[in-house]
Amino acid sequence: MSVRRFKVSNNNKAVQVLASSTVSFTICFAIWMMFAVLGIPIKKMLGLNETEFGLLAAMPVLSGSLVRVPLGIWCDRYGGRIVFFLLMLATVPAIYLVGLATQFWQFLVLGLFIGLAGGSFSVGTPYVARWFSRERRGLAMGIFGAGNSGSALTKFVAPAIIAAWGWQALPTVYAVTMLVTALLFWVFSATDPSHQSGASVPLSEQLKVLKDRRVWRYCQYYSVVFGGYVGLALWMTKYYVGEYGFDLRLAALLAACFSLPGGVLRALGGWISDRYGAYKVTWWVMWVCWVCFFLLSYPPTAMIVKTTHGDVHLQLALTPWMFTALLFVVGTAMAIGKASVFKFIGDDFSDNIGAVSGVVGLAGGLGGFVLPILFGALLDLTGVRSSAFMLLYGTVCVSLIWMHYSFRPTAAPQPLAGAVPA
C-alpha cells in the first residue's frame, strides 16, 4: 500500500512539475521574442535599416543561446528548480529598463540580458525529462516545449499594449509578469535530489559528448527546426507589414498563425516521435519544410508570354492567405521536428541529457540569432523579401542530404561464391 501511495504521489509531482515548468517557459519565451513586435516602433523611432532591425530582434537570441550549455550542465549538477527560478529573477531588471532606453546600443545591451530567458529551455528540458519514464519522456518534453507558443502570446498581447499605452509600457508589464511567474514557479514546482546526476561528474566528463558525431548531427537538425522557427517568429510580423502593407495588429495576428502551431503542437510531435521513432518523423518534417520553403521562396513576378494571339501578361505572387497557409504548415512541421530531435537526445543520451540538450539548444539558438540578421542583410542587398525563404530552403537541403547519408542501412555481407552454408 505504501509503495502504491508513493507512486501516486510521485506521479502527481511529475504532473505538477510539468505544468509549472511549461507555464514558466511560455512566459520566458514570450519575453525572449518581445523585440519581434517591440522592435517595429523602435526601428521607426531610431531610423534603423533592415540589417540593424535584424540585429536588434536577434540580440536576445544570442545570449539565450550562449548560456544554454552552462545552464544545462548546472541543471545536472544543482537541480533544475533552483536554476530555473534564479534565471527568471535575473532577467527582471533588464526587461524593465528597456522602457527607459533611448539609444540603439542601450537596446542591444539590454537585449543580451533579456536573452537569458531563452536559456530556460536548457534548464526545463532535463528538469522535466527526469520526472518521467523513457516511454513517456518524448510526450513530456513535447508538452514542455509547447512553451514555444509564447512567441504567439507576444504577438497577441504586445500590439494591444503598445496601441493602448505606447511601446514603453510593454517592458514594464513584462517585467512584472516575469517576477510573478518566477514566484509561482517556486511555489508549485518540486525538487528531487536523485535527479542531480551530474553533481559528482567533472565538467570535462560532461563535455565529452562534443566528440560524439550524433550530437553535431542533431545540432544541424535543430538549427533548422528551432533556429528557423525563432528566425521566422522574429521576422514575420515585419514581413507582413512590409510585403502586404498591413498594420501592426493584423501583421502580428497573421504572424501568430505560424508561431502558435509552431509552439503548441510540439506536444503532438513528442507523442508522434514516441510512436513512430525520431528518425522517421524528422525525415518527413524536413521534406514538408523543403516543399513549403520552395513555394515561399518564389518572389512576386510579372511575365509576358508571347502567343499567336498576342502578348499574355501574367502576375505570379502568393496572396496573403496562401502565404499564411504555407506558414501554418511550416509552423506545424517545425513543432513536430523540434520534439523529434529531442526524442533523439532523450533516447541516446539519457544519462547526460542536460549537457547534450544545452549543446543542441545552443546550435538551434545560434541559428535563430544569425537568421534574422541574414534576412535583413539579404533584403538590403537584393530588395527581395522572399530571399529569407531561399536561405531556409538551402538549410533544409543540407539536413536532408546529411540524414540520407547518416542513416543509410548497412548492407548485409554476401556469402563467398562456392561457400557452404554452416
End-to-end CA gap in the chain:
55
C-alpha span between 186 and 201 (Å, rounded): 26
**What's the rounded Cα separation, in Å, for the pair 302 and 290?**
25
Strand partners, 301: 316
Residues near 80 by beta carbon (within 8 Å), at least 6 away in sequence? 21, 123, 124, 126, 127, 128, 130, 195
pLDDT, the chain, mean = 85
Q: From residue 296, give the alpha-carbon distance in Å to each of 233, 259, 300.
A: 15, 17, 10
Of 23-32, 68-77, 407-416, give the lowest mean pLDDT range.
407-416
Delineate the domains of the chain, giving CATH numbers in brackets: 9-191+205-406 (1.20.1250.20)
Is the CA virtual torsion 71, 77, 80, 85 positive or negative? negative
More confident residue, 211 or 156: 156
Q: Which range, 6-20, 41-55, 334-348, is most confident?
A: 41-55
CB within 8 Å of 332: residues ≥ 6 apart: 261, 262, 265
* Buried-exposed string 302-332: b where 16+ CB fall within 10 A, e elsewhere: eeeeeeeeeeeeeeeebeeeebbebbbbbbb
Q: How far apart are CA 413 and CA 422, in angstroms?
A: 15
Determine phi and psi for 385, rounding to 5 degrees.
-65, -35
Pick the residue with more confidence: 127 or 200? 127
Q: Count CA within 13 A, CB hemisphere, residue 272.
A: 21
| Inter-residue contact 138 to 271 (CB < 8 Å) | yes
Element (H, E) at 303: strand 301-307
| pLDDT score of 130 | 83
Look at 109-118, 201-210, 266-275, 380-389 and tell me which has the smallest mean pLDDT. Answer: 201-210
Give 354 or 266, the one with higher predicted confidence: 266
pTM of the shown model:
0.77
Answer yes or no: are the C-beta atoms of 234 and 33 closer than 8 Å. yes
With bands split at pLDDT 50, 70 and 90, how would you rate the model's confidence at 151? confident
pLDDT score of 420 more than 50: no
Q: What is the DSSP letter of 304?
A: E
Cα torsion 256, 257, 258, 262 to 10°: value is 90
Q: Is the pLDDT of residue 22 over 80?
A: yes
Question: Closest by alpha carbon to 143, among 154, 129, 133?
Answer: 129
DSSP 201: S
Measured in residues, the chain has a length of 422
Amino acid at 377: A
Residue 158 has pLDDT above 50, yes or no: yes
Q: Are the C-beta atoms of residues 234 and 35 closer than 8 Å to each other?
A: yes
- Give the model's pLDDT for residue 29: 92
Distance separating alpha carbons of residues 25 and 87, to the nearest angstrom: 11
User: pLDDT tens for residues 211-243?
Assistant: 778 888 888 889 899 899 889 988 999 999 989
